[in-house]
Structure 1
Amino acid sequence: MRKLHVRAAGLVAAAVLGLGLAAVPDAAAEAGPFPVLALPFKAGQQVYSAGIHSDDGSTGVKNALDLSPADKTVRAPLAGTVHLQHCAGGDWVAIDHAGGWRTGYYHMEGIKVTDGEQVEAGDVLGSTGNALPCGGSSTGAHVHFTLWTLPDEPAANWSGLAYSQLSTTVAVAHGEPIDGKTLGGWLFTAGADQYTGTATHLADRMVTQLPGHFRAKL
């Protein structure tokens, strides 16, 4: 689903062009069907989630989910191409998947992948952390996992883009809601408020209220 409005497109284009990057094209294409994604860590372990929220935790599309697996290791949920996004404070990871889908991984430390690398589901990306390469805030080591659609803009480069811009103008254009999406056999449903929601294990219909802990079984 593409949610790019004319005014938002202008804002994003201005933000990106101001950094010398490619302009955002018109919203002509549609992303493919939602891919079969695993959770971004090894199954079978205890996980804490702070809940579903918008990319800035305040307003806008709720395209983000904070996750803290017990082993502190973040893994690719599906095959794709890594695109490291560079800022003055370091890097964060995006993976482009088939069908115009991108997943994002913010706050990671000890990044183990390189720009342009092809990864498979389960490959190690790095460790949960509190890194703020482009700004923002973090309390407690975790990965800020995000969903995006980029059917018109494969391999989009958001390097140098401040988190305040990424989490607002870019999120308006490309952010995809976590609500109603299934990751690793768990259906995530957003709550009315930020940092709330539920995770339902589809195999046995067990429901976990978010924020909360659950065991990420298959």
Structure 2
Amino acid sequence: MTKLRIRGAVLTATVATVLGLVSAPAATAELAPFPALTLPFKAGQQVYSAGIHSDDGSTGVKNAIDLSPADRTVRAPLAGTVHLQHCAGGDWVTIDHAGGWRTGYYHMEGIKVTDGEHVEAGAELGSTGNALPCGGSSTGAHVHFTLWTLPDAPAANWDGKSFAEVSTTVAAAHGEPVDGKTIGGWRFTAGAEQYSGTATHLADNAVTQLPGRFRAKL
């Protein structure tokens, strides 16, 4: 009887596997190395940056940098899939890139992309502005550019989440520090204080103190 029971159990497990009744554990996605992002605007123009800071400008991981290019046009820094995050006051834009990376664009006006759209690097996303679709504050037209990691949820939906929630709870879980990242040939280093830091042009080691202006050369 023991042998029959064992054989029966094996046969049952085999049949269940073949029929798909037993599911294999889901593989955990791995985060790819930091991607080769360009700056989120056309190179060669003057840019003002208010500096590196946390998403809410107060506490938490410093995953944000405010940028104001002279032409006021915000562009995709890498190919990816657009997600419009909806709030009562309108939309803001995120782009999911390969390998579990997401970039965010808050305060934009005149958004030119649609939800689910695939964009290539350099695609126009909208204009710098002072839009506050989910709350927050803004002084002077700019894009609040943010870095995120989403290895287990590449299409995470933040619809309806207030800026306060995204900039605290979501940022604590998924915010990625700007500090030490190279973007478009510039290495950004966070300062000790909010809205500070440096931008170093790697081709010639020219350093710009932030807040400050620099020419976004390659």
TM interval, short-chain normalised: 0.7 to 0.9
Match of 2:174 in 1: 174
Q: Which amino acid aligns with 1:168?
A: T
Match of 1:48 in 2: 48
CA deviation string 1:72-101 (max 9, x = no partner):
000000000000000000000000000000
Match of 2:199 in 1: 199
Structure 1 Cα separation of the partners of residues 108 and 31 of structure 2? 27
Alignment TM-score, normalising by the size of structure 1: 0.87
Structure 2 Cα separation of the partners of residues 165 and 120 of structure 1? 29
Q: Structure 2, unaligned stretches of length 5 or more?
A: 1-27
Match of 1:61 in 2: 61
Match of 2:37 in 1: 37
Match of 1:134 in 2: 134
Show the 5 A alignment for 1:68-79. Answer: 68-79=68-79
Structure 2 Cα separation of the partners of residues 206 and 30 of structure 1? 35
Match of 2:157 in 1: 157
CA deviation string 1:157-215 (max 9, x = no partner):
00100111000000000000000001100000000000000000000000000000000
3-state SS, counterpart of residue 173 of structure 1:
helix
Match of 2:18 in 1: none
3-state SS, counterpart of residue 125 of structure 2:
strand
Structure 1 Cα separation of the partners of residues 154 and 213 of structure 2? 35
Structure 2 Cα separation of the partners of residues 216 and 120 of structure 1? 20
Alignment TM-score, normalising by the size of structure 2: 0.87
Q: Which amino acid aligns with 1:208?
A: T
Structure 2 Cα separation of the partners of residues 86 and 31 of structure 1? 26
Report deviation, 1:31.
1.4
Structure 2 Cα separation of the partners of residues 169 and 83 of structure 1? 19
Aligned residues: 191
Structure 1 Cα separation of the partners of residues 98 and 107 of structure 2? 24
Structure 2 Cα separation of the partners of residues 166 and 36 of structure 1? 25
Larger radius of gyration: 2
3-state SS, counterpart of residue 62 of structure 2:
coil
Structure 1 Cα separation of the partners of residues 149 and 111 of structure 2? 23
Match of 1:113 in 2: 113
Report deviation, 1:124.
0.1
Report deviation, 1:30.
3.6
Report deviation, 1:29.
4.2
Structure 2 Cα separation of the partners of residues 29 and 60 of structure 1? 25
Structure 1 Cα separation of the partners of residues 200 and 129 of structure 2? 26
Q: Which amino acid aligns with 1:167?
A: S
Structure 2 Cα separation of the partners of residues 67 and 117 of structure 1? 24
Query: Aligned Cα RMSD in Å?
Result: 0.6
Match of 1:8 in 2: none
Q: Structure 1, unaligned stretches of length 5 or more?
A: 1-27
Structure 2 Cα separation of the partners of residues 44 and 89 of structure 1? 34
